[in-house]
């Protein structure tokens, strides 16, 4: 079978959610071309093996199971890419479920635009059926730039002003221009230190084109352990660390960029600390977290030399 697009999924201990992801991927269809699914298991006990091998037989979809116990996201991403046969590689996380036309939308978008990478919306689905009280609309868990189809995305432009950044959770890349070479994702950034951010910065600096694909929607299942505000504060701090270290790493003038990042972090800390007091957020510690999250983002840019690493979540 000719493969147009390869789906690469990384798995650690969320096998209880991985089946949902795999079944959603397996139902992708249409006359747009062929696809394959590659699962790279990062757990030393190979927790996903029986599930993947069983679903491969049940669905008759081309599924490849790979395993690597080394705790480094870049290593397992690169292993999946090396096994991929498609001209495009799509990434989806093991807690996400794609809509039925997901792969068709991504493939058509890249074919139509000639872009190097395409990105789609990530919409939350909360355990228990509703968003937490402190984020009643689930905005902190939503990635949707609400841009027209095929509009170009600029990494260093208005996306950051919207408080959102790109990642690889719902994205497809042209292998020839984005993922060639022995180490597409830098292993040095694989310890939850922003390996996808670093790749995207490198690609953007090299002039690669990114486009928005609003029809390629995935739904991310948010377990209660990740719906807590303290989790989000830590996640935002870590994400800001990723931004800082990757921005500095890919800069042609590292000392100057380091200074700019530090000043930006200091400004965020100062402004949000003032607003935290002035707005009375400190009096409502159960429901209002905007400025605490803002301070965490600023602190992340000031502490990038001491990365947080993996945030432990509920085990399966």
* Every domain of the chain and the residues it spans: 5-226, 229-302
- In the chain, what is the straight-line distance between the N-terminal and C-terminal CA atoms, in Å? 35
Using CA atoms, how far apart are residues 108 and 250, in angstroms rounded to an integer? 31
Per DSSP, helices labelled H in the chain are 15-26, 49-59, 73-83, 102-113, 158-161, 175-178, 195-205, 229-249, 254-278, 290-302
Query: In which band, very low, low, confident or very high, does the pLDDT at 286 lie, cut at 50, 70 and 90?
Result: confident
For 207, counting Cβ atoms within 10 Å of its Cβ (0-12 exposed, 13-18 middle, 19+ buried), the class is: exposed
Residue 1 has pLDDT above 70, yes or no: no
Residue 278 has pLDDT above 50, yes or no: yes
Using CA atoms, how far apart are residues 151 and 214, in angstroms rounded to an integer? 10
Using CA atoms, how far apart are residues 149 and 113, in angstroms rounded to an integer? 10
Token pair 């590689």 in the structure block, residue: 89
Buried b or exposed e, range 243-282, using 16+ CB within 10 angstroms? bbbbbbbbbeeeeebbebbeebbeebbeebeeebeeeebe
Using CA atoms, how far apart are residues 102 and 239, in angstroms rounded to an integer? 26
Q: Which helix (H) or strand (E) holds 66?
A: strand 63-67
Residue 182 has pLDDT above 90, yes or no: no
**Arithmetic mean of pLDDT over the chain:** 92
pLDDT at 315: 47
- Specify the higher pLDDT residue, 164 or 38: 38
Query: In which band, very low, low, confident or very high, does the pLDDT at 285 lie, cut at 50, 70 and 90?
Result: confident
Q: What is the pLDDT of residues 4-40, one digit of tens each?
A: 999 999 999 899 999 999 999 999 977 777 999 999 9
Segment 233-262 shows an average pLDDT of 95
Token pair belonging to 220: 């991310």
- Of 214-223, 244-253, 306-315, which range is least confident? 306-315
Q: What is the pLDDT of residues 31-78, one digit of tens each?
A: 777 999 999 999 999 999 999 999 999 999 999 999 999 999 999 999
For 109, counting Cβ atoms within 10 Å of its Cβ (0-12 exposed, 13-18 middle, 19+ buried), the class is: buried
Share above pLDDT 70 across residues of the chain, in percent, rounded to a whole number: 95
Segment 68-95 shows an average pLDDT of 96
Query: In which band, very low, low, confident or very high, does the pLDDT at 99 lie, cut at 50, 70 and 90?
Result: very high
- Of 71-85, 159-173, 259-273, which range is least confident? 159-173
> 103 with 35: CB under 8 angstroms?
yes
Residue 239 has pLDDT above 80, yes or no: yes
Share above pLDDT 90 across residues of the chain, in percent, rounded to a whole number: 83
Segment 172-189 shows an average pLDDT of 95
Residue 235 has pLDDT above 80, yes or no: yes
pLDDT at 313: 58
Q: What are phi and psi of 200, to 5 degrees?
A: -65, -40
Using CA atoms, how far apart are residues 20 and 129, in angstroms rounded to an integer? 17
DSSP secondary structure of 164-209 = ----STEEEEEHHHHS-SS-SS-GGGTTTS-HHHHHHHHHHHTT--
pLDDT at 161: 42
Using CA atoms, how far apart are residues 55 and 21, in angstroms rounded to an integer? 11
> 167 with 96: CB under 8 angstroms?
no
Quickly count: other Cβ atoms within 10 Å of residue 86's Cβ.
22
Residue 186 has pLDDT above 60, yes or no: yes
Per DSSP, what are the bridge partners of residue 174? 88
Architecture of the domain made up of 5-226: Alpha-Beta Complex (3.90)
pLDDT at 298: 97
DSSP secondary structure of 117-169 = EEE--EEEEETTSS--TTSTT-GGG-B---PPTTPEE-TTTHHHHTT----ST
Q: What are phi and psi of 29, to 5 degrees?
A: -155, -170
> 52 with 65: CB under 8 angstroms?
yes
pLDDT at 33: 77
Q: What is the pLDDT of residues 125-159, one digit of tens each?
A: 999 999 999 999 999 999 999 999 999 998 876 54
3-class DSSP state for residue 59?
Answer: helix
Q: What are phi and psi of 250, to 5 degrees?
A: -95, 5
């Amino acid at each position: 079978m000719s493969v147009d697009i390869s789906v690469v999924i990384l798995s650690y201990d969320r096998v209880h959610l991985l089946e949902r992801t795999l079944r959603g991927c397996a139902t992708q269809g249409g006359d747009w071309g062929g696809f394959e699914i590659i699962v790279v298991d990062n757990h030393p006990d190979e927790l996903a093996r029986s599930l993947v091998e069983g679903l491969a037989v049940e669905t008759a979809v081309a599924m490849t199971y790979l395993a690597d116990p080394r705790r480094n996201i870049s290593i397992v991403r690169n292993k999946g890419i090396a096994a991929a046969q498609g001209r495009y590689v799509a990434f989806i996380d093991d807690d996400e479920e794609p809509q039925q036309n997901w792969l068709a939308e991504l493939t058509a978008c890249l074919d139509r635009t000639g872009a190097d990478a395409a990105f789609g919306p990530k919409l939350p689905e909360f355990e228990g059926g509703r968003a937490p009280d402190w984020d009643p609309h689930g905005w902190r868990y939503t990635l949707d730039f609400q841009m027209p189809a095929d509009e170009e995305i600029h990494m260093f432009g208005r996306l950051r002003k919207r408080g959102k950044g790109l990642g690889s959770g719902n994205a497809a890349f042209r292998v020839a221009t984005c993922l060639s070479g022995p180490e597409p994702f830098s292993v040095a950034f694989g310890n939850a230190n922003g390996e996808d951010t670093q790749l995207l910065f490198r690609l953007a600096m090299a002039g690669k084109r990114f486009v928005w694909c609003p029809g390629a929607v995935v739904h991310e299942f948010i377990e209660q352990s990740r719906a807590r505000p303290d989790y989000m504060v830590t996640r935002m701090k870590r994400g800001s660390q990723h931004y800082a270290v990757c921005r500095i790493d890919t800069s042609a003038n590292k000392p100057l960029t380091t200074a700019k990042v530090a000043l930006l972090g200091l400004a965020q800390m100062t402004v949000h600390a003032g607003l935290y007091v002035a707005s009375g957020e400190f009096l409502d510690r159960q429901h209002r977290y905007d400025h605490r999250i803002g301070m965490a983002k600023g602190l992340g840019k000031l502490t990038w030399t001491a990365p947080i690493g993996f945030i432990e979540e509920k085990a399966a």
